[in-house]
Structure 1
Amino acid sequence: MSYSKVLLGLIISFVTGVGCKLLHIPVPSPPVLTGALLVFTMSLGYWLVDRYCAANAAKNKSLCAGHAIEKERK
């Protein structure tokens, strides 16, 4: 996941919040600071685990047997 996707997600979230406020629509998340922090930390945790898994997958690729279709091509 690149930083541009994270930035785009933050921009879309901000625009959604502004739109909900201007159109008097209930916000699709908890309207308190604790709820907002909960959503933020869940998103941050998801992003960090995704980065960790991607780094380890690249490191351990040589240990994987590969897909059966790739074996048939060789």
Structure 2
Amino acid sequence: MNPLKILAGLILSFLVGLACRHFAIPAASPPVLSGALLVFMMSTGYWLVDRYVARRAAQNKQHCGGHAIEAPRRSTP
């Protein structure tokens, strides 16, 4: 985990909260501690599952047809 990204995220979230408070805009976060903990735990769970899935080898790659944007392969006669 890059510490610079964590610091940038904390600064950005502080600035968004400050702007919401200054302009009397409802904040995009829950106003109580239990709601904030719920958001934190959901984010942590998402991050942990992403790390777990990224470490596992793809088991069904042979069944994947690829992207729909790819050009069709030409067969040579």
Q: Please say whether Structure 1 and Structure 2 have the same fold, judged by a TM-score greater than 0.5.
A: yes
The structural deviation recorded for 1:12 is 2.6
TM-score by length of 2: 0.61
The structure where helix makes up a greater share of residues is: 1
1:53/1:63 Cα in 2 relative to 1: closer, same or farther (>3 Å)?
A: same
Tell me the equivalent position of 2:62.
65
Identity %: 47
Q: Which amino acid aligns with 1:18?
A: L
- Number of residues paired by the alignment? 66
RMSD: 2.9
SS at structure 2 position matched to 1:65? helix
For residues 27-53 of structure 1, give each alpha carbon's deviation from its aligned partner in whole angstroms, at most 9, with x where no partner exists.
112111111111111111111111111
SS at structure 2 position matched to 1:36? helix
1:36/1:10 Cα in 2 relative to 1: closer, same or farther (>3 Å)?
A: same
5+ long unaligned stretches in structure 1: none
The structural deviation recorded for 1:13 is 2.3
Structure 1 range deviating more: 13-22 or 37-46: 13-22
5+ long unaligned stretches in structure 2: 67-72
Runs of 4+ in 1 over 6 A off after TM superposition: none
Tell me the equivalent position of 2:70.
none
Structure with the greater alpha carbon radius of gyration:
2
TM-score by length of 1: 0.63
Tell me the equivalent position of 1:3.
2
* Higher RCO by CA contacts (8 Å cutoff, separation 6 or greater): 1
